[in-house]
Structure 1
Amino acid sequence: MTTWHQLLLVWAFAVVLQGLAWARQQHTRNAGIVDVAWSFGVGAAAVLVAATGSGAPLPRLLLAVLGGAWGLRLGLHLWHRVSGEAEDGRYAQLRKRWGNAPAKWLAMFQFQAVLIALFALPFLAVAANPVAGWNAWFIGGIATWLLCVGGEAMADRQLARFRANPANRGKTCRDGLWRYSRHPNYFFEWLHWFAYVLLAVGSPLHWLAWSGPVVMYVFLRWVSGIPWTEQQALRTRGEDYARYQRTTPMLIPWFPKEDR
């Protein structure tokens, strides 16, 4: 199967997946399911691309295991939040503007299907890697994956524990990793994409693997990650979150500053 055919297969799968997620949203009025579908979709894309790739078995196996496990962990984490909480404030704001207009929500969900295909580009590079044996790049990719997915899971647990305490309602989490970064989960999520850059070393499509960290950084920093999250935090936590912004690095962890 050619690279273009692989990409079309991923996109077709994503269209169906996000279509089903949209239909569920129309019934539940909770658009957070779009993030669950995106996570499961990208993880499944890693498995699909690995299964249909032309490269050596080892990098394809690593891609399927690591990419699939990443998507499964993130998807289950988000599913727990979506199924147990009210609609995320970001989507609630959209619902105030759009109401339940089916066409607008369908367009938003299908845009996420396009993003699944976009984030599958690094997987194409790994799946085309002809390197058949273990090397330092593969080991480095696994180590990067373990560090970053472990860090993201830790940040998610710390935030979930903080939010589960009723005494913290209306307050900003500064526990653990959240003391050093306003978005440690996003930081590790971004860093995790470098694992596929390392796994793609030796591939004729290696350059394509760089699209993962580059595109993820752009989306997190300027499009749908940090801007949306921080706008919602300021709406709900006001001055407490503004103080957090003044003292704590946005993405890359570092020691907090004194508030002035």
Structure 2
Amino acid sequence: MLDFSLDFPFSVFAWNLLYSALGVLGLLALTYLVAVLQKRHSVIDTAWGLGFVVVAVISFLSSTATTADGGRRLLLLAAVVLWGLRLAGFIGWRARDGKEDPRYAAMLSKAPGNQNVYALRRVYLPQGIVLFFVSLTVQVGMFATGPLGFFAWLGGLIWLIGLSFETIGDWQLARFKADPSRRGTVLKSGLWRYTRHPNYFGDAAVWLGLFLISADSWPGLLTVLSPTLMIWALAARTGKPLTEARMDGRPGYREYIAQTSGFFPLPPRKDS
């Protein structure tokens, strides 16, 4: 059963919103400085996961002296920190060559003026706003007062499935790309046999799980738009569509699309 108790510490939570916003702003300012010095704004991709870690830690500390449920606070903190650090570490490792991501290079090449100023407006500001909005699920959940119930544990299980898909999918893709003989071909084995985007599906499952952990107690239900935005972006906006547009001309990719589920893992379709 969902907990609808009304003893949510609204006044302390309001201050946490400010602290979290300042934390995100500080991280993005540091990231921007590093990007300008390194002359590559794709470093913000590494900061994305770290931003949620910053918010989770701030919210955990802010809710310490309240009546918020300790079990939920610890569960959310562990889940966000593990997910965020893994994602940041993987993206940082993937970009270890120090080169600008072609997507950012193409976008910044169209800048009407100074590219750094343009990046601030078109990259950092939007991502900061989205990061803060999506993190509301975590922030609210940290202050929820009801005990962990069925939906919280279900959310934990879904989070674990999502993290596993994301981690294994990224590992399988990295191994595939490391083999020069496979360059220009399409990965169709492992988790990629059941979904064309196990990493994006895993990310979506992680945020669905975090939402259920928070929504198990009032007023976590009110943050439903936060995971919805994240899942929509992954499945229909900046994740799956952009990746498939980039892969469209690769030999065998059309056949792969015809046989493999676009997002949710399903058994491969038989050749017609």
Query: What RMSD in Å do the two structures reach over aligned CA positions?
Result: 2.2
| Distance of 1:243 and 1:21 partners within structure 2 | 40
| Distance of 1:36 and 1:106 partners within structure 2 | 16
Unmatched segments (≥5 aa) in structure 2: 1-10
Q: 1:8 — aligned with what? A: 18
Q: TM-score normalized by structure 2?
A: 0.85
Q: Deviations over 1:202-223 (max 9, x none)?
A: 5321223423431112111232
Q: Cα distance 1:36–1:45, how it changes in 2: closer, same or farther (>3 A)? A: same
State which of 113, 116, 124 in structure 2 corresponds to 1:102: 116
| Distance of 1:139 and 1:18 partners within structure 2 | 33
Q: 1:246 — aligned with what? A: 258
Q: 1:221 — aligned with what? A: 235
| Distance of 1:62 and 1:117 partners within structure 2 | 20
Q: 1:207 — aligned with what? A: 221
State which of 145, 153, 169 in structure 2 corresponds to 1:155: 169
| Distance of 2:20 and 2:99 partners within structure 1 | 31
Q: TM-score normalized by structure 1?
A: 0.89
AA aligned to 1:4 is: A
SS in 1 for 2:120: helix
AA aligned to 2:75 is: L
Q: Are 1:140 and 1:195, in contact at CA under 8 Å, matched by a contact in 2? A: yes
Task: Work out the number of aligned pairs and report it.
Answer: 257
SS in 2 for 1:194: helix
| Distance of 2:114 and 2:245 partners within structure 1 | 22
SS in 2 for 1:84: coil
Matches within 5 A, 1:1-260: 2-53=12-63, 54=66, 55-84=68-97, 86-98=99-111, 101-107=115-121, 108-132=123-147, 134-234=148-248, 237-258=249-270
SS in 2 for 1:41: helix
Q: Are 1:19 and 1:110, in contact at CA under 8 Å, matched by a contact in 2? A: no
| Distance of 1:87 and 1:240 partners within structure 2 | 28
Unmatched segments (≥5 aa) in structure 1: none
AA aligned to 2:120 is: L
| Distance of 2:216 and 2:263 partners within structure 1 | 31
Q: Deviations over 1:204-256 (max 9, x none)?
A: 2122342343111211123221222222223xx53433332333221112233
Bigger drift between 71-80 and 109-118 goes to: 109-118
Q: Deviations over 1:11-33 (max 9, x none)?
A: 22112211222222223233321
Q: Are 1:31 and 1:91, in contact at CA under 8 Å, matched by a contact in 2? A: yes
Aligned-residue sequence identity (percent) comes to: 28
AA aligned to 1:161 is: R
AA aligned to 2:54 is: A
| Distance of 2:265 and 2:39 partners within structure 1 | 35
Give 4+ residue runs of structure 1 displaced > 6 Å after superposition.
Answer: none
TM-superposed deviation, 1:58: 1.6
Q: Which has the higher helix share?
A: 1
Q: Deviations over 1:56-87 (max 9, x none)?
A: 22211111111111111111111111223643
